[in-house]
Amino acid sequence: MSGNTFGKLFSVTTFGESHGPALGAIVDGCPPGLPLCEADLQRDLDRRRPGSSRHTTQRQEPDQVKILSGVFEGKTTGTSIGLLIENTDQRSKDYSKIKDQFRPAHADYTYHHKYGHRDYRGGGRSSARETAVRVAAGAIAKQYLATHGVQIRGYMSQLGPIKIDFSTWEAVGQNAFFCPDPAKVPELEAYMDQLRRDQDSVGAEITVVADGVPVGLGEPVFDRLDADLAHGLMSINAVKGVEIGAGFDCIAQRGSEHRDEMTPEGFLSNHAGGVLGGISSGQPIVARLALKPTSSITTPGRSIDVHGQAVEVVTKGRHDPCVGIRATPIAEAMMAITLLDHWLRQRGQNGAVSVDTPRLSQC
């Protein structure tokens, strides 16, 4: 219930540092009877895994997850599920130099002042390595939702200045960028190759979509579905913005344009992104998140050390030049966790999730 738990009925609590022995999570509240094995989690972990292309960190981590409890004879028991991922490729020596320095734009400075001391190796708890177990936990939520017709998928919709239009879901899995448009891939590769030569990093935008979500998920007024989604997505490392549906574009929209009209056959548009009044409408849930460029770059930057003295920081180590590239499975995981939590809450208070509500056609 402190800061390392997310969710109320379906909840995920995590631990683990970048260079500690292991990362782990406890998934609580998973409905019993769900078929589940480690391979079900490994698929998404492999999608997020470092070192799988030249465009991501070269740290080699198999990210093999173990299920330590909560599953018996191939099915969840309804009790808490323990997950463990061992770290195998730490090179902590890389970090000794920056032990007393605050990398600009990094959590070094705030962790130091919040806690008084910190595990400086690879960012410790502030490292995006922590998201591995979110992906494992999210895969459990996805598994449950999939058996109820809900599919959660994401893609990269912008890399640095390059906007990417959605083409097909198949394309997303066929390149290192989660890019839905195969024609754009060479441009992305060229951009990333130049970025590495520039010793710089860049931001990205990810779009996540949940299809098949029934009407009725979301608990106003504070635990609106979109508010909890914003919480979950903004809690991902490097995320600086979250939009639902039309998002910031709705500022300049007129009501007559923004409102999604309905006919007996269905909604005529989806500017709402599948959420009305904080409750799912049966349309696809559409969220976008903006990820900032990695702060860990080898281009020297001005900063200070723990004594307040000016220093020039050069961050060695093996870093992602664009953390957005591996962020798609993480965003999917947080959306899945949020949706399953609200599924269970809806079922708890209202007796059932109205999966049979006549679903309006979806835009």
Of residues 239 through 258, those in contact with a second copy by CB under 8 A are 239-258
48 labelled ligand-binding: yes
Query: 241: closest CA among 270, 274, 207?
Result: 207
Minimum CB separation from a second copy for residue 333, in Å? Answer: 12
316 binds a second copy (CB under 8 A): no
Specify the DSSP element, H or E, that contains 210. strand 204-211
Sequence length of the chain is: 363
117 binds a second copy (CB under 8 A): yes
Residues within window 150-209 making contact with a second copy, judged by CB under 8 A: 158, 160-161, 198, 200-205
223 binds a second copy (CB under 8 A): yes
Phi, psi of 154 (to 5 degrees): -135, 170
Long-range contact list for 182-190, CB < 8 A, 24+ apart?
187/162, 188/159, 188/162, 188/164, 189/55
306 binds a second copy (CB under 8 A): no
125 binds a second copy (CB under 8 A): yes
Minimum CB separation from a second copy for residue 74, in Å? Answer: 10
Pick from 126, 143, 175, 207 the residue near a second copy by CB under 8 A.
126
- In whole angstroms, give the CA distance from residue 355 to residue 169: 24
Pick from 6, 95, 155, 177 the residue near a second copy by CB under 8 A.
6
318 labelled ligand-binding: yes
Site map 328..357 versus a second copy, x via CB under 8 A = ----------------xxxxxxxx--x--x
73 binds a second copy (CB under 8 A): yes
Number of CB atoms found within 10 A of residue 77's CB: 15
238 labelled ligand-binding: yes
- In whole angstroms, give the CA distance from residue 287 to residue 242: 7
- In whole angstroms, give the CA distance from residue 265 to residue 247: 25
Distance of CA 336 to the CA centre of its chain: 10
57 binds a second copy (CB under 8 A): no
By CB under 8 A, the count of residues binding a second copy is: 154
Amino acid at 235: S
Complex with a second copy: residue 72 or 174, whichever CB lies closer: 72
268 binds a second copy (CB under 8 A): yes
Are 287 and 272 contacting, i.e. CB atoms less than 8 angstroms apart? no
**Taking the CA of residue 107 as centre, how many other CA atoms within 13 Å lie in the half-sphere pointing to its CB?**
18
SS3 of residue 168 by DSSP: coil
Which residues make up each annotated binding site?
48, 54, 125-127, 237-238, 277, 292-296, 318
Which residues make up each annotated binding site for FMN?
125-127, 237-238, 277, 292-296, 318
Which residues make up each annotated binding site for NADP(+)?
48, 54
